[in-house]
């Protein structure tokens, strides 16, 4: 597996709108996309810094894993996402090395990416996402 860069850092927030003054007004970043991922019950907002993004994650339902995360740990960094060239191949490789998978196969994520999560229990407590840009 080859990791090319950090694709994004996911940050759990109660309200994207309430955080915009910080990201846009203070940091001077521009939110270029807001998108709801229905099956994740989450609304996402993206900012680009070089080829890396900040992804704000706002729960759209109490059932959302983001809602549960905020309830348990408060707002803050939720996951790190590495860009790789072939997520399914990478999943096989890390699983063979003893990493527990949350997703057995790549699935559709925000922005048309193919994504899969690794279990934090086997990644030093960091929820880890692998992403692949569609070609
Ligand atoms: Zn993500």
Residue pair 48/33 in contact (Cβ under 8 Å)? The answer is no
Residues whose CB falls within 8 Å of the CB of residue 97, separated by 6 or more in sequence, listed in order: none
CA 10–ligand 1 middle distance (angstroms): 5
Q: Are strands 128-132 and 76-84 parallel, antiparallel or unpaired?
A: parallel
Those residues whose beta carbon sits under 5 angstroms from the ion ligand 1 are: 10, 81, 129
Whose tokens are 């759990």? That residue is 12
Could you report the per-residue pLDDT of 66-121, keeping only the tens digit for each? 999 999 999 999 999 999 999 999 999 999 999 999 999 999 888 889 999 999 99
Q: Which CATH class is domain 3-132?
A: alpha beta
96 C-alpha to ligand 1 centroid (Å)? 23
In the chain, where the domains are located: 3-132
Query: The whole model's pTM is what?
Result: 0.92
What is the per-residue pLDDT across 109-121, written as a single tens digit (0 to 9) for each?
888 899 999 999 9
């Amino acid at each position: 597996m080859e990791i090319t860069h950090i694709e994004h850092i996911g940050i759990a927030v109660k309200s994207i709108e309430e955080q915009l003054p910080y990201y846009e007004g203070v940091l001077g970043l521009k939110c270029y996309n807001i998108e709801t991922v229905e099956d994740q019950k989450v609304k996402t907002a993206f900012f680009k810094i070089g080829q890396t993004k900040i992804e704000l994650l706002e729960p759209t339902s109490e059932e959302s894993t983001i809602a549960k995360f905020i309830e348990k740990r408060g707002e803050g960094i939720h996951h790190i996402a590495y860009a790789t060239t072939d997520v399914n191949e990478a999943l096989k490789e890390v699983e063979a090395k003893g990493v527990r998978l949350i997703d057995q196969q790549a699935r559709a994520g925000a922005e048309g990416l193919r994504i899969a999560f690794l279990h934090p229990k086997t990644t030093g407590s960091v929820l880890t996402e692998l992403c692949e840009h569609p070609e």
